[in-house]
Amino acid sequence: MFCKLAVKNVSRSLRDYSVYFITLAFGVCIFYVFNSMDAQYIMDALRSAQSNIVEVLVSLIDILSAFVSVVLGFLILYANDFMIRRRKRELGTYLLLGMEGRKVSGLLILETFFIGLLSLGAGLALGVVLSQFISQLTAGVFRISMPQARFVFSPRAVGKTAAYFGLVFLVVMAFHSFSMSRKKLIDLLQAHRENQDLKLKSVKASLVMFLVGAVLLGTAYAMLLIRGILRVDALFFVMLGLGTAGTLLFFRSLSGFLLKICQSAKGLYYRGLNMFILRQFNARINTTYLSMTVICLMLLLAIGITACSVGLNGTISALTDGTAPYDVTVLFWPNGGKGEPPLEEWLAAGGFDAETELSERLCFASGWGEFQTLSGSGETAVMSVLPQSACQRLLAMQGREPLALESGQYGFLLGPQAELPPEARETALEVDGRALLPGPAVRAAVYTGANPKEWYAVLPDAAMESVHINEWSLVGNYAPGTDQEKAGRRLEEAMRGLVPQEYGLEGDGYGSYWSTKLEMYAQTMGSKIIVLFLGIYLGIVFLLCSAAVLALQQLSQAADHQERYRVLSRLGVEEKMRDRSIYVQVLLAFLLPLGLAVVHAAVGMTAANAAIAEVGRVDSAASSAVTAAFILAVYGAYLLATCWGSRRIVRSADRHG
C-alpha cells in the first residue's frame, strides 16, 4: 500500500511537473555524454598521434563534472522544495489521517528514489543514443572521416553518472527527512500562498533604484571594455560586484514602478485582462527578484560561454586549417648531391605504399636561388623557389584558384601568416638571360606543418635549372573512409627506415621529416576541442538550470493561483482570454531575464572578441548565430512547455471547480 501510494504520487508529479523529470533526464544524458568522450573513436586516434590532449580533456571534464553535479544538485533541491511546498496541504492531510511523521518522510524518500531511478535510466538510455551522434561531431571537429560505424559505450561514464546522481539524490532524501521533521501540522494545512503586499509603493523610490542600477551596470560595462576581459585583479571582482548589484536593483525596481507606469497608460491597463496580468506579475516580481537576478546571471554565463567557445573554435580552426592542408606530408633533404631521392619507393619498402594509401598525391622539388636583379646596380636576390607546375597542383589539391601568371612573370606563394617584403614585390629578376617581372601572389601553405610565415618565389619550370634543389616533398590526401589512425602508424613505421644505408653514408648530411593532419590537429587543435566541448558542456548546464527554474516557478504559481482563474471563469471571462493571460505572464518571466542577459553578453562578447582577435580573426556573426539557435532551441522549448503546462493546470482547475 505504501509503495502503491508513492508510485501514484510520482505519476501525478510527473504529469504535473513533466518539465522537472525531463530536466533530470536531460541532465543525466549530458553528464554521461561528456564523460564518455574518452571512448570516442577520435580519442583513440589522438592517443596514437602521441598527444596528451585526451588525458587533459578527460581530467578537465572530471573536474568540471564535479562542479556540474553541484549545480544540478542545487537545481534538484530547488525543484523538490517547490514541489514539497506545493504539496504541503496534501502532506498535512496524511498527518491528520493518522500517518506518522516518519512515514510521511519515508514516503517522500521513496518518491524521490523512484523519480531518481526513472530519470537516471531514461537519461542514460538517451545519453547512449546521443553519444553515437557526438562521435560524428567529434570526427567533424578534426575533419577526420570515420572508417566505419562504431558503437560508443563507456562503462566508466555510466558508473560515474550513477555515482554522482545517486549522491545528489541521497542529499535530497536527507533534506526531505530533515524538512518534514520541522513541519507543524497547522502550518501544512494552512499553506495557502498569497500575493504579498508591495513593500515599495513609491514610484520615485523605484525610479531612483532603477537609475542607480543603470549607473552601476554602465560603470561595470565601461570597466570591462576599457580593461579587457583577461585582466584579473582586485578591480575585476569590483566590476563583477557592480554588475551583479546593478542587475539586482534592475529587477527589484520593477516591482515598484512597472505597475505604476502601466496604470498611467489607461488604454493599455484596462484592455482585456491586462489589469489582472500586471498585478499578478507585479506581485511575482516582488517575491522572485532575487531568483530572477540569479537566472539572469546564469543566462549570461550560458550565452557568453557558448558564444566565446564557438568564436574561439572558429578562430583556431582557421589558423590550423592554414597549416594543415594535406593529410600526409613527407620531406627529405638530400644535401649530399645524390640526385632525386625515390621517396615513394622507400616508403613502399617500409610498408606505406603512397599509390594505394593516398587518393591524390604530388611529389615535387623546391630549393633556393641567387638571381641577378634588373636594377642595374649589380645586386642579387636570394629567394626560396617553387616550380610553377608544383604550385598550381598544390593549389588545385587545396581547392584554390590557380596562380594567374603571364609570360615573363614570376609569382609568390605566401604562408598563412607570411608578409612579403615590399622590395620583393618590385624586384625584377634575370634568370638564364631571361627577364622575369614580379607578378601576383597567392596565400596557401606548401605542406602540412609548414612555417606559416614562410614564402616562396614561383618560377617557371624551365627556370628551375638555375635553382639549388635542397628539399624534396611528398604531399597527399587519404581516400574517404580511410582509417587514418592505422595509416598514420604505417607511415611512422616506414619513416623509421626511410633512407637506405647506401644513400646516407656517414658524414653525408641528410634529413627527413613527416607529419599528418591528424597529428597536427592533435598538437595545435587541442585548445579547440577543449574550448568547444567544455564551453558547450557548461553552456547547456547553465541554460538548462535557468530554464528549468523559471519553468518550475511558473508551473507552481499557476497551480497556486488556480482559485483566481476559477473566479475569472465564474465571472464569465472566456477561456481564450484566460489562456492569453497565462501566456503573457510566462513570456514576461522568461524574456525579462533573457533580455538583460543578452545586453550583458553583448558587452562581454565585445571584450572577449577583442582578446580573441589578437590571435586571429573572429567570426562574430557565426558565433552569434550558433548561440542564438542554441538559446532558441533549449530556452524556447522550455518556454513553450511551460505555457502549455500552466494552461493545462489552470484548465484542470476549471473542470474540477
**Residue 438 and residue 425 in contact, taking contact as beta carbons nearer than 8 Å:** yes
CA distance to 94, 319, 550, 563, per residue, from 85 (Å): 15, 54, 16, 17
* 239-248 confidence digits (pLDDT tens): 989 999 999 8
Q: Is the pLDDT of residue 64 over 90?
A: no
CA distance 556 to 569: 20
Write the burial class of residue 362 (CB in 10 Å: 0-12 exposed, 13-18 middle, 19+ buried): middle
**Cβ–Cβ < 8 Å for 327, 358:** yes
Instruction: Give the CB-side neighbour count of residue 102, counting CA atoms within 13 A.
Output: 0
What average pLDDT does this structure show over 599-610? 83
633-to-388, 540, 598 alpha-carbon distances in Å: 51, 11, 16
Helix (H, G, I), strand (E, B) or coil at 145: coil
Above 90 in pLDDT, residue 215?
Answer: yes
Evaluate the CA torsion angle 568, 569, 575, 579 in order and state its sign. positive
Report residue 115's pLDDT band, with 50, 70 and 90 as the boundaries: confident
634 vs 545, 558, 639, CA distance in Å?
Answer: 11, 22, 9
C-alpha span between 601 and 309 (Å, rounded): 13
Q: Which amino acid is at 614?
A: E
Rounded to an integer, the average pLDDT of 34-45 is: 72
* Angle in degrees, CA 127, 129, 132, rounded to 5: 105
What are the tens digits of pLDDT across the range 444-455?
Answer: 888 877 677 788
What average pLDDT does range 530-541 have in this prediction? 77
Q: If you search the block for the grid coordinates 533604484, which residue do you land on?
A: 209
Q: pLDDT confidence of 2, banded at 50, 70, 90?
A: low
Torsion of CA 30, 35, 40, 43, to 10 degrees: 130
Rg (CA), the chain: 33
The secondary element (H helix, E strand) that includes residue 507 is none
Average pLDDT of the chain is 78
Cell 594543415 found at: 324
Tell me the three state secondary structure of residue 508.
coil
Distance between the two ends of the chain, CA-based, in angstroms? Answer: 29
Counting every residue written for the chain, the total comes to 657
Q: How far apart are alpha carbons 308 and 135 in whole angstroms?
A: 23
pLDDT more than 90, % of the chain: 6
The 3-class SS string of 92-131 reads: HHHHHCCCCHHHHHHHHHHHHHHHHHHHHHHHHHHHHHHH
- The share of the chain scoring above pLDDT 70, in percent, equals 76
Res. 286: pLDDT tops 80: no
Q: Which residues contact 184 (CB under 8 A, 6 or more apart)?
A: none
> Could you count the other beta carbons within 10 Å of the beta carbon of residue 193?
14
pLDDT of residue 188 exceeding 80, the answer is no
Residue 647 has pLDDT above 90, yes or no: no
Taking a C-beta distance cutoff of 8 angstroms, is the pair 154, 44 a contact? no
Q: Does the pLDDT value for residue 507 go beyond 50? A: no
Tally of helices (H runs) and strands (E runs) in the chain: 22, 9
3-state secondary structure of 420: coil
Query: In angstroms, what CA-CA distances link 267 with 182, 262, 270, 447, 577?
Result: 49, 9, 6, 71, 17
Quick one: pLDDT at residue 412?
Answer: 92
DSSP labels, 289-313: HHHHHHHHHHHHHHHHHHHHHHHHH
Task: Assign 152 to helix, strand or coil.
Answer: coil
